[in-house]
Each structure stands twice: as structure tokens, then as C-alpha cells.
Amino acid sequence: MNELREERAEGRPLFEAVGATLKREIASGRFAGADVLPGERELAEILRISRTTLRRAIAALVEEGVLFHRHGAGTFVRRRPPHVEQALSRLTSFTEDMRSRGFAASSREIERGVFSPTPEEAMMLGVSPRDSVFRLARLRLADGVPMAMERAVVPAHFLGDPARVGDSLYAALDAEGWLPVRALQRLRAVVLGPADAALLDVPEGAAALDIHRIAYLADGRCVEYTRSFYRSDTYDFIAELTLSPSQRRHGEGAMR
């Protein structure tokens, strides 16, 4: 939090400079894990300011709606979920999507490993039940806010060493030369169960978009089957609709 000095350089009162620094840290996802600020004494020590100044800065941020107190639990960050409009016709990765919008993408891993496929996975991926699949279940976050829960399955032979899959599954597939070029996606509305609702930080029973993506290589082999729950308050999927060529000819005729 070295920026405190820069904030101060602008000649504003110290508590305002502290508030601006905290806001910047929040935006960068610094407290994203638990969304709770460190204790007053620890934070005052980190910022090298008095607890009175810190209290004043926090009070101003509570008034602004950036922070809120939860009795007996501490001071929390009030996250406003980023809103994203996503074209349905482009095959992109979460990391790429968020980066292009200026959000910091991150993930919380729920499951990772190489397993025997379930009958559904084997059928979706077109692999034999004797093959292995790499499973990666992640909570995907933008600027520290949970956006989607994704459970991806990839035939293990496409990934070389699955332990090397880092922040982006598509970057890992690309590195192996197996980036998908085409995908089929099915979307439907669902009501979230308690476990997914808790992960996505929405009330149980909230609506979400249940998305199944099956992605293919140029030679038609299936490289990914992913089932995701996208928070319905953060994502709008936009589809472009065009007339079929024959209808277009018809329409042009009608206009003359």
C-alpha cells in the first residue's frame, strides 16, 4: 500500500488519502478472498497511521457504501458485481473475456485431477470408458466477485501434464496445439442449489444460467465438455440474429 504517499501528495486530509488507498486496494482484488478487512490494529500498522485516522477513513467508506460492518464479524467489502455482456457467437475463454473488459480474472479451484470418465462424460467427449479425463472445477471471479462456477472435462491426452494447467484452461490447450475452434453451447435457466449459491455468493434459490459447452478441434474431435452456472445478475448473453439468405431476398423484394 505504498500509494498512500501519492494520495497524500495531492494535499488532501490523511483520512481521505487512506480511504482512496483502501478503495484502490479493494478494486485490485486485495481483500477478495474473504471480503473482510484486516483488524483495525493490523491495518493501522500496515498503513502506518493512527487508529483514529483509520476509523475516520473507514467510517467515510461505510457512508459511501464501499464497506459495511457486520456485528461481531468485522468490516467487509460491499462488492458490486461487474456486469458483462457476452456475444454468444464468439468462442472465447473466461480469462480472455474478463481481460478484454478490464477486469482482473481469477479462479478458486474446487476440484482438479485425472479420473476415469463418468458415462455422461465419455458420451459427451466421445472417449472410451477406459480413457482418462482431466477434470477442473473452478469458481471464476472478476475483480474478486464470483461470476460463474465452471466444471470442465478434457480428454487427458490433450493436456500433456495436467499439473501444468495454470490460470487459463484454453491457454494450456493452446500451448499443446489443441485450442478448440468451434463449440456448441446450450443455455437454460435454473434455480441454484445451496452449494452453488454459496460459492457464487447469491441467496439459495437465485436464478442462474446453466450452460453446457462442447468444444471441438478443426478435425471434429471433442476437446472440452464444460458445464457452468453463470450468475444471472452479472451476465447478459447477446445473440445476433439475421434473416436467412432466402428470406433476405424476399425482404428486399418487398421493399421495392
Interface residues with ligand 16G (CB under 6 A) are 93-95, 150, 152, 168-171, 211, 213, 224, 226, 228
Contact 105, 98 (CB under 8 A): yes
Q: Of 226, 228, 212, 225, whose CA–CA distance to 126 is shortest?
A: 225
Q: Return the number of the residue (23 or 227) whose C-beta is nearest ligand 16G.
A: 227
Question: Cβ 168 to ligand 16G, closest distance in Å?
Answer: 3
Q: Return the number of the residue (18 or 141) whose C-beta is nearest ligand 16G.
A: 141
Question: Cβ 104 to ligand 16G, closest distance in Å?
Answer: 12
Q: Return the number of the residue (56 or 213) whose C-beta is nearest ligand 16G.
A: 213
Question: Cβ 50 to ligand 16G, closest distance in Å?
Answer: 43
Question: Cβ 66 to ligand 16G, closest distance in Å?
Answer: 28
Q: Return the number of the residue (86 or 132) whose C-beta is nearest ligand 16G.
A: 86
Q: Return the number of the residue (122 or 139) whose C-beta is nearest ligand 16G.
A: 139
Contact 255, 104 (CB under 8 A): no
DSSP assignments along 27-57, one per residue: HTTTTTTT-BPPPHHHHHHHHT--HHHHHHH
Q: Return the number of the residue (7 or 150) whose C-beta is nearest ligand 16G.
A: 150
Rounded Cα distance, 169 and 162, in Å:
10
Question: Cβ 76 to ligand 16G, closest distance in Å?
Answer: 27
Q: Which element (helix H / strand E) includes 96? A: helix 94-100
Rounded Cα distance, 84 and 101, in Å:
8
Residue 215: alpha-carbon gap to chain centroid: 19
Contact 101, 236 (CB under 8 A): no
Angle (CA) 12-29-77 rounded to 5° is 70
Question: Cβ 204 to ligand 16G, closest distance in Å?
Answer: 23
User: First and final CA of the chain: distance in angstroms?
Assistant: 67
Rounded Cα distance, 140 and 148, in Å:
5
